């Protein structure tokens, strides 16, 4: 408890340090924040090791209910993940401040954002949870709106994010308050003890309210529309935290919902799984066709959260019939959440470094960065390989576990579950393919080949701290990818907060063995195999001798074997994704505009061709725009009753007062 | 006992009748005078309760009410009226006979609506609670039905006086700190509104509906 108080106190101190003079501000705040993150990590590791919640209560800070801290192993897993991601983001920030985020407001918001992210999983009752949740939402909103004075897109992003996060928070508050009203006190422990007394319909309504609220935070389709806007517009350290830590808390919320309400009927989890599948497919499809690097990463976040929710859903509906697969699916989704946090923050920090060096996010304007920014490029490549779930990186073992749990759960399932599971597996397969396309594009177009613009050509490697930040998370991706067993015991303990572990799974340093479910994977062996194969190829090439080397001709990487005379001969991000876009034309409904101007003298001479291709979000266009248009129409109509007359306004109040009195009496 | 009850009832009736007079009279000076009389009646109510309860603090509250509601606030408003001598509520939105009928209906509604409070408080004080509620409703109606900016301020003060009457009757006197706080609030509000009124008059507005031209 005192450790949590220390964490919160240091966080507030960091926020106050933001008022220091400009010259030392960011260094000072970052130093204190590193202390906050270290304390958070130590507390979380302590809870995971002793496998016992850390609880405490104080009434001095908040009247009536006080603050209630209860850091379970499940919460500790999320706090620990956040601490690692925030550590990398803070280090990155020290260099990034020369580009943006050096103001008092941004520093203060960043400090409070990190602190609240670390503390939300430690909340032990409704009030504490909602207070911390709101601090997190508001400080992150301030960071999303960081460039509001510079770009209209940033203002738009802030509006969308604000509306989504507040709408979600309203639903979460509603759900939790209904639960709290039926429990003897608002602590999560007593809610969990009393929730099964609730009528079925109420439980279902609460589940849906909480699921939708938390899904909006996790960026599930169709509540994902804030994600590509906010992640793209926020400064890099903030977007790394949004994607690497904050969306995780949406997942934490869904797991918490299950802890509070119990597993519940199968249809709950079929609904959850449905939205997971939609998010995974939609996110990966848009990631594959986006040309803005940060939008691409944001859509990929939506995709990954969809996969995590598929795992959680599988854990829910296998629970009754197949407890081993249920436990495995839960563990798998927690592994995927932590893996995602590491690789996605690597990628966002890398994208921030690219933006720092080139002032450009559009892949069509990048290229050739592997030569000019080698360290950043290596980190981004590791992140991209990991998100594409290629062995031996951490994304691979995570997705492998999700697939295993689905496949094994099929045995002995009822028809509905069987069909759903088959659909889930198919969705996972398609998502995997689309994700690979997206990241081959991101790395191939953005970092290999030749520079497509002046800025990209003159890019220089970023300052040391900005190389260390993504370096930390990239290293973690490799280490936990090669030796996934390192994290498994911690994650298993975290999952036991939700339901006892029946998976029978064991881990060695090198890999997982699924026990009764029969399945094993050794990423370490795969990694050694890959290294060995590379060595063999290298040795073969050497053995061909100088004669062979003389015939060796070198081509531009990513140049398709042609000799490139101009950077414009290369594939661009748009052209690379074009075949895919054509296949999914009906879903994406991209808008093309081709404008050919002829010379005045003759129509046979074309003077200018203008081609505009906009690939905006189809959910936003088809679902949210009509709703917004309706709201605007309603607002305009409502102006008729507010004509500016003071007397009329008073009369409204008067009539309502008299009517209320008459009704009450 | 009956003397106390009769005196209290008379004072409370004067408070309500004061509100009706505001609806009835056209001349702004008379309206402010009615408000001052109402303030005196309110102070008398508090003083009677203080005498009955032998509560010195409540007596201090009565003096405070007398000072603020019978002297200071009407004094401030009289200075506004003096700036435009002979000003009248010439063309009310609801004419006087209709207003008086509405006031009657509102009083009836107040008696119906206050039944639970009457039952709860009981005794000679409880029976008078509907008069306070009626004052609140009539004050609100003054704000709705009268055009002059000054009438609006008076309507607001009627609402406040009605609430004060209910508070005195229900709790047998409010703590001095509460009364001090609410009196100062009202005084502050009146000062602000007085400044606003002076500015409006200077700008040539006297009918609040003329402000509609500011609507976009």
Tens-digit pLDDT profile for residues A297-334? 999 999 999 999 999 999 998 888 888 889 999 999 99
CB nearest B109 (choices: A643, A651, A662): A662
Q: Please give the residue that has the higher pLDDT: either A338 or B209.
A: A338
The CA-based angle A557-A563-A566, given to 5 degrees, is 90
CA distance A664 to A31: 60
Q: CA of B3 to nearest chain A CA: how many angstroms apart? A: 31
Helix axes A394-409, A415-447, angle to 10 degrees: 160
Domain spans, chain B: 2-214
Tokens of A422: 């088959």
Largest CA distance in chain A: 105
CA distance A391 to A523: 6
Residues of chain A positioned with their CB less than 8 A from the CB of B208 = 646-647
Mean pLDDT over all residues of chain A? 89
Fill in the DSSP letter of residue B27: B
Signed CA dihedral, A479, A483, A488, A490: sign only: negative
Residues of chain A positioned with their CB less than 8 A from the CB of B93 = 647
Within a domain: A110: no
Residues of chain A positioned with their CB less than 8 A from the CB of B211 = 644, 646
Per DSSP, which regions of A106-250 are E strands? none
Q: CA of A654 to nearest chain B CA: how many angstroms apart? A: 6
- Which residues lie closer than 8 Å to B115 by C-beta, 6 or more apart? A665
Question: A176: which strand partners?
Answer: none
Judged by CB atoms closer than 8 Å, whether chains meet at A647 and B106 is answered as no
Q: CA of A634 to nearest chain B CA: how many angstroms apart? A: 18
> CA nearest A648 in B: which residue?
B144
Q: Does B214 touch chain A (CB under 8 A)?
A: yes
Q: Are A402 and A336 in contact (CB under 8 A)?
A: yes
Judged by CB atoms closer than 8 Å, whether chains meet at A647 and B208 is answered as yes
CB nearest A665 (choices: B115, B137, B143): B115
Helix, strand or coil, per DSSP, at residue A521: strand
Q: Does A638 touch chain B (CB under 8 A)?
A: no
CA distance A314 to A308: 10
Residues of chain B positioned with their CB less than 8 A from the CB of A643 = 212, 215
Q: What value does the mean pLDDT take over residues B150-176? A: 84
Residue A418 scores a pLDDT above 90: no
CA distance A64 to A363: 53
Q: What value does the mean pLDDT take over residues B127-131? A: 90
Q: What value does the mean pLDDT take over residues A202-223? A: 94
Within a domain: A643: yes
Judged by CB atoms closer than 8 Å, whether chains meet at B93 and A647 is answered as yes
CB nearest B140 (choices: A644, A646, A657): A657
CB nearest A647 (choices: B109, B115, B209): B209
Q: Are A254 and A211 in contact (CB under 8 A)?
A: yes
Domain tally, chain A: 1
CA distance A665 to A660: 9
Q: What is the pLDDT of residue B152?
A: 83
Q: What value does the mean pLDDT take over residues B137-152? A: 87
Q: Please give the residue that has the higher pLDDT: either A309 or A638.
A: A309
> CA nearest B139 in A: which residue?
A654
Burial A16-51 (b: 16+ CB within 10 A, else e): ebbeeeeeebbebbbebbbbbbebbbebbeebbeeb
Start-to-end C-alpha separation, chain A: 52
Residues of chain B positioned with their CB less than 8 A from the CB of A665 = 112-116
CA distance A202 to A179: 9
Judged by CB atoms closer than 8 Å, whether chains meet at A650 and B214 is answered as no
CB nearest B215 (choices: A644, A650, A651): A644
Q: What is the pLDDT of residue A483?
A: 86
Residue B173 scores a pLDDT above 70: no
Tokens of A37: 């993150």
Residues of chain A positioned with their CB less than 8 A from the CB of B197 = none
Within a domain: A638: yes
Residue B172 scores a pLDDT above 80: no
Residue B87 scores a pLDDT above 80: no
Q: What value does the mean pLDDT take over residues A102-113? A: 94
CB nearest A658 (choices: B137, B213, B215): B137
Q: Which domain holds residue A641?
A: 618-664
Judged by CB atoms closer than 8 Å, whether chains meet at B140 and A653 is answered as yes
Residue B109 scores a pLDDT above 80: yes
Which residue out of B153, B209, B213 would a mutagenesis test of the A interface target, given it has the greatest number of A Cβ atoms within 10 Å? B209
Burial A636-654 (b: 16+ CB within 10 A, else e): eeeeeeeeeebbeebbeeb
CA distance B6 to B9: 5
Task: Please identify among residues 365-404 of chain A the ones whose CB lies closer than 8 Å to any CB of chain B.
Answer: none
Residues in chain A: 665
Q: What value does the mean pLDDT take over residues A398-408? A: 89
Q: Are A431 and A284 in contact (CB under 8 A)?
A: yes
Q: Are A29 and A110 in contact (CB under 8 A)?
A: yes
Residues of chain B positioned with their CB less than 8 A from the CB of A661 = 109-110, 113, 137
Q: Give the H or E element holding residue A401.
A: helix A394-409
Q: CA of A656 to nearest chain B CA: how many angstroms apart? A: 12
Report the percentage of chain A scoring pLDDT > 70: 96
Burial of residue A65 (CB within 10 Å: 0-12, 13-18, 19+) is middle
Q: Are A70 and A55 in contact (CB under 8 A)?
A: yes
Q: What is the pLDDT of residue A432?
A: 93
Which residue out of A640, A643, A653, A654 would a mutagenesis test of the B interface target, given it has the greatest number of B Cβ atoms within 10 Å? A654
Judged by CB atoms closer than 8 Å, whether chains meet at B144 and A647 is answered as yes
Signed CA dihedral, B107, B108, B109, B110: sign only: positive
CA distance A313 to A264: 11
The CA-based angle A592-A598-A601, given to 5 degrees, is 175
Within a domain: A233: no
Fill in the DSSP letter of residue A563: P
Q: What value does the mean pLDDT take over residues A226-240? A: 93
Sorting pLDDT into bands at 50, 70 and 90, what band is A552?
low
Residue A563 scores a pLDDT above 70: no
CA distance A82 to A548: 51
Residue A562 scores a pLDDT above 90: no
Tokens of A341: 């946090």
Q: What value does the mean pLDDT take over residues B142-171? A: 87
Residues of chain A positioned with their CB less than 8 A from the CB of B114 = 665
Q: Does A644 touch chain B (CB under 8 A)?
A: yes
Q: Give the H or E element holding residue A485.
A: helix A485-496
Tens-digit pLDDT profile for residues A436-488? 999 999 999 999 888 888 888 888 889 999 999 999 999 999 999 888 888 88
Residues of chain A positioned with their CB less than 8 A from the CB of B212 = 643-645
CB nearest A645 (choices: B110, B143, B212): B212
Within a domain: A637: yes
Q: Does A646 touch chain B (CB under 8 A)?
A: yes
Q: What value does the mean pLDDT take over residues A213-218? A: 95
Q: What value does the mean pLDDT take over residues B101-114? A: 90
Within a domain: A560: no
Judged by CB atoms closer than 8 Å, whether chains meet at A657 and B208 is answered as no
Q: What is the pLDDT of residue A196?
A: 83
Q: What is the pLDDT of residue A547?
A: 52
Q: Does B112 touch chain A (CB under 8 A)?
A: yes
Sorting pLDDT into bands at 50, 70 and 90, what band is A107?
very high
Q: What value does the mean pLDDT take over residues B58-85? A: 86
Judged by CB atoms closer than 8 Å, whether chains meet at A647 and B215 is answered as no
Judged by CB atoms closer than 8 Å, whether chains meet at A654 and B143 is answered as yes
Q: What is the pLDDT of residue A41?
A: 95
Judged by CB atoms closer than 8 Å, whether chains meet at A650 and B112 is answered as no
Residues of chain B positioned with their CB less than 8 A from the CB of A649 = none
Mean pLDDT over all residues of chain B? 85
Q: What is the pLDDT of residue A466?
A: 93
Q: CA of A628 to nearest chain B CA: how many angstroms apart? A: 22
Q: What value does the mean pLDDT take over residues A137-146? A: 94
Fill in the DSSP letter of residue A123: B
Judged by CB atoms closer than 8 Å, whether chains meet at B212 and A644 is answered as yes
Fill in the DSSP letter of residue A450: -
Residues of chain B positioned with their CB less than 8 A from the CB of A639 = none
Listed residue (B170, B213, B201) closest to B83, CA to CA? B201
Signed CA dihedral, A181, A182, A183, A187: sign only: negative
Q: Does B119 touch chain A (CB under 8 A)?
A: no
Within a domain: A170: no
Chain pair A-B, CB pairs under 8 angstroms = 47
Q: Does B116 touch chain A (CB under 8 A)?
A: yes
Fill in the DSSP letter of residue A449: S
> CA nearest A642 in B: which residue?
B215
Within a domain: A547: no
Sorting pLDDT into bands at 50, 70 and 90, what band is A574?
confident
CB nearest B140 (choices: A644, A654, A665): A654
Judged by CB atoms closer than 8 Å, whether chains meet at A646 and B209 is answered as yes
């Amino acid at each position: 408890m005192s450790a949590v108080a220390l964490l919160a106190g240091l966080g507030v101190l960091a926020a106050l340090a933001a008022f220091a003079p400009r010259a030392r501000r960011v260094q000072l705040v970052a130093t204190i924040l590193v202390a906050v993150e270290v304390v958070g990590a130590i507390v979380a590791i302590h809870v995971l090791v002793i496998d016992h919640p850390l609880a405490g209560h104080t009434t001095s800070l908040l009247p009536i209910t006080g603050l209630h801290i209860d850091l379970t192993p499940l919460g500790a897993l999320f706090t620990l993940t956040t601490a690692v991601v925030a550590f990398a983001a803070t280090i990155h920030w020290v260099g990034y401040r020369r580009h943006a985020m050096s103001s008092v407001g941004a520093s203060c918001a960043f400090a409070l954002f990190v602190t609240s992210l670390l503390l939300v999983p430690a909340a032990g009752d409704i009030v504490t949870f909602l207070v911390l949740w709101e601090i997190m939402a508001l400080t992150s909103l301030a960071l999303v709106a960081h460039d509001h004075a510079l770009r209209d897109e940033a203002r738009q992003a802030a509006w969308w994010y604000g509306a989504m996060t507040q709408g979600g928070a309203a639903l979460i508050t509603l759900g939790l308050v209904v639960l709290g009203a039926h429990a003897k006190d608002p602590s999560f422990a007593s809610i969990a003890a009393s929730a099964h007394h609730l009528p079925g319909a109420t439980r279902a309504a609460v589940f849906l309210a909480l699921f939708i609220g938390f899904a909006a935070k996790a960026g599930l389709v169709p509540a994902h529309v804030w994600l590509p806007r906010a992640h793209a517009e926020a400064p890099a350290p903030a977007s790394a935290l949004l994607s690497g830590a904050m969306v995780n808390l949406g997942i934490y919320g869904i797991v918490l919902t299950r802890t509070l309400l119990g597993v519940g009927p199968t249809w709950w989890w079929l609904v959850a799984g449905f939205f997971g599948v939609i998010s995974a497919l939609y996110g990966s499809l848009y990631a594959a066709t986006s040309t803005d690097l940060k939008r691409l990463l944001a859509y990929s976040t939506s995709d990954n959260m969809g996969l995590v929710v598929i795992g959680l859903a599988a854990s829910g509906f296998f629970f009754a019939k197949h407890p081993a697969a249920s436990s495995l699916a839960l563990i798998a989704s927690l592994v995927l959440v932590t893996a995602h946090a590491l690789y996605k923050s690597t990628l966002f920090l890398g994208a921030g470094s690219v933006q720092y060096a080139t002032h450009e996010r559009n892949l069509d304007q990048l290229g050739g960065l592997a030569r000019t920014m080698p360290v950043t490029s290596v980190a981004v490549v590791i992140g991209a390989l990991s998100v594409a779930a290629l062995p031996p990186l951490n994304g691979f073992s995570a997705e492998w576990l999700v697939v295993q749990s689905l496949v094994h759960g099929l045995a002995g399932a009822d028809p509905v579950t069987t069909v759903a599971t088959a659909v889930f597996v198919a969705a996972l397969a398609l998502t995997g393919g689309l994700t690979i396309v997206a990241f081959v594009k991101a790395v191939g177009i953005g970092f290999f080949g030749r520079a497509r613009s002046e800025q990209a050509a003159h890019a220089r490697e970023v300052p040391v701290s900005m190389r260390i930040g993504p370096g930390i998370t990239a290293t973690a991706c490799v280490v936990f990818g090669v030796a996934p067993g390192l994290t498994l015991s911690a994650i298993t303990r975290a999952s036991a907060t939700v339901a006892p572990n029946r998976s029978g799974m064991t881990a060695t340093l090198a890999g997982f063995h699924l026990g009764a479910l029969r399945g094993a994977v050794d990423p370490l062996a795969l990694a050694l195999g890959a290294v060995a194969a590379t060595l063999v190829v290298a040795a073969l090439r050497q053995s061909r001798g100088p004669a062979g080397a003389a015939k060796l001709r070198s081509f531009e990487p990513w140049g398709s074997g042609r000799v490139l005379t101009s950077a414009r001969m290369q594939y661009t991000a748009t052209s690379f994704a074009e075949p895919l876009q054509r296949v999914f034309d009906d879903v994406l409904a991209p808008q093309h505009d081709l404008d050919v101007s002829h010379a005045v003298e003759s129509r046979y001479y074309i003077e200018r061709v203008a081609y505009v291709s906009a690939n905006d979000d189809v959910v936003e266009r088809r679902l949210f725009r009509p709703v917004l248009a309706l709201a605007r129409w309603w607002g305009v109509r409502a102006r008729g009753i507010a004509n500016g007359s003071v007397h009329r306004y008073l009369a409204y109040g008067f009539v309502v007062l008299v009517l209320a009195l008459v009704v009450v009496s | 006992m009956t003397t106390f009850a009769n005196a209290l009832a008379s004072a409370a009736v004067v408070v309500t009748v004061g509100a009706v007079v505001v609806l009835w009279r056209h001349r702004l000076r008379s309206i402010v005078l009615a408000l001052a009389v109402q303030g005196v009646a309110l102070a008398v109510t508090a003083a009677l309760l203080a005498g009955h309860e032998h509560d010195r603090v409540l007596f201090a509250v009565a003096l405070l009410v007398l000072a603020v509601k019978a002297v200071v606030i009407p004094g401030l408003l009289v200075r506004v009226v003096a700036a435009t001598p002979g000003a009248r509520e010439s063309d009310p939105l609801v004419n006087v006979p209709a207003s008086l009928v509405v006031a009657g209906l509102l009083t009836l509604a107040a008696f119906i609506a206050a039944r639970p409070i009457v039952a709860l408080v009981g005794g000679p004080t409880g029976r008078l609670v509907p008069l306070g509620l009626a004052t609140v409703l009539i004050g609100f109606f003054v704000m709705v039905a009268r055009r002059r900016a000054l009438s609006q301020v008076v309507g607001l003060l009627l609402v406040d006086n009605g609430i004060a009457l209910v508070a005195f009757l229900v709790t047998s006197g409010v703590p001095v700190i509460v009364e001090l706080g609410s009196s100062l609030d009202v005084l502050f509000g009146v000062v602000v509104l007085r400044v606003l009124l002076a500015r409006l008059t200077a700008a040539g507005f006297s009918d609040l509906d003329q402000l509609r031209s500011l609507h976009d």
